[in-house]
Amino acid sequence: PGYPPTYYPNASDAADATPVSVRGGDDYPGVDFNLQPTRAVTVSGRVFNAVTGQPGIRTNIFLSPRRSLEEGMFTLQFQTYVQDPQGAFKIENVVPGSYYLIGMTQVEGKQYTSRLPLEVGDADLTGITLTISPGIILTGRVVGLSKSEVAGINVLLRPRQHGIFFGTGTTSIKSDGRFDITNVSDGSYKL
């Protein structure tokens, strides 16, 4: 058995939590939690790094509740670091729920990320494969400005879901209005 994370007032998801404002020296009575035991399972598999063509050793693996992430909160409930030369990972004591399995690694100073939606039930999840891939190059053009007007302008790419994007995210516009943003992982963004 395990105890799922619980947020005030007894919410199982951070998106349903109620904020509590407490100033230094204040007492705030009545903040009670009712922890309910549930069956905890193991999530395991392998990471493959498609950037290097090798197993994903030295990859950080996270499980983040899907609903919280989709509502703009990057809540990490489970984390592990891949040390196995074959890229094997194991996360224990995971409670049932909808998650994103997120892998992050660095190759030659660049950060790469990948995510995989997971449904965790009351049985162990094994044999999962997470592939870290090089992101795409997002190419575009700003029109309607003169060459002098585009000088010094940057294009920003920000995730709609907080904490997902780990590419470059920003680039300068070239004199003809073109721009390229490299290493863009899958997801929904604001440009």
Q: How would you write the pLDDT of the chain (191 residues) with one tens digit per residue? A: 777 778 888 887 777 888 888 889 988 888 888 888 888 899 999 999 999 999 999 999 998 887 765 555 556 667 899 999 999 999 998 988 889 899 999 998 888 888 899 999 989 999 999 999 888 888 988 887 777 787 778 888 777 665 544 445 667 888 888 888 888 877 777 88
Cα separation of 138 and 188, whole Å?
13
Angle at 13 between CA 30 and CA 59, to 5 degrees: 125
Q: Which pLDDT score, from 0 to 100, does residue 166 have?
A: 47
Nearest to 93 by CA among 184, 158, 3: 3
Q: Which pLDDT score, from 0 to 100, does residue 69 have?
A: 59
Q: Which pLDDT score, from 0 to 100, does residue 130 have?
A: 96
Q: How far is CA 114 from CA 43, 60, 91, 121, 183, in A?
A: 17, 11, 17, 22, 11
Q: Which pLDDT score, from 0 to 100, does residue 35 have?
A: 83
Count of beta carbons in the 10 Å neighbourhood of residue 152: 8
Q: Which pLDDT score, from 0 to 100, does residue 171 have?
A: 77
Q: Which pLDDT score, from 0 to 100, does residue 55 have?
A: 96
| Model pTM score | 0.71
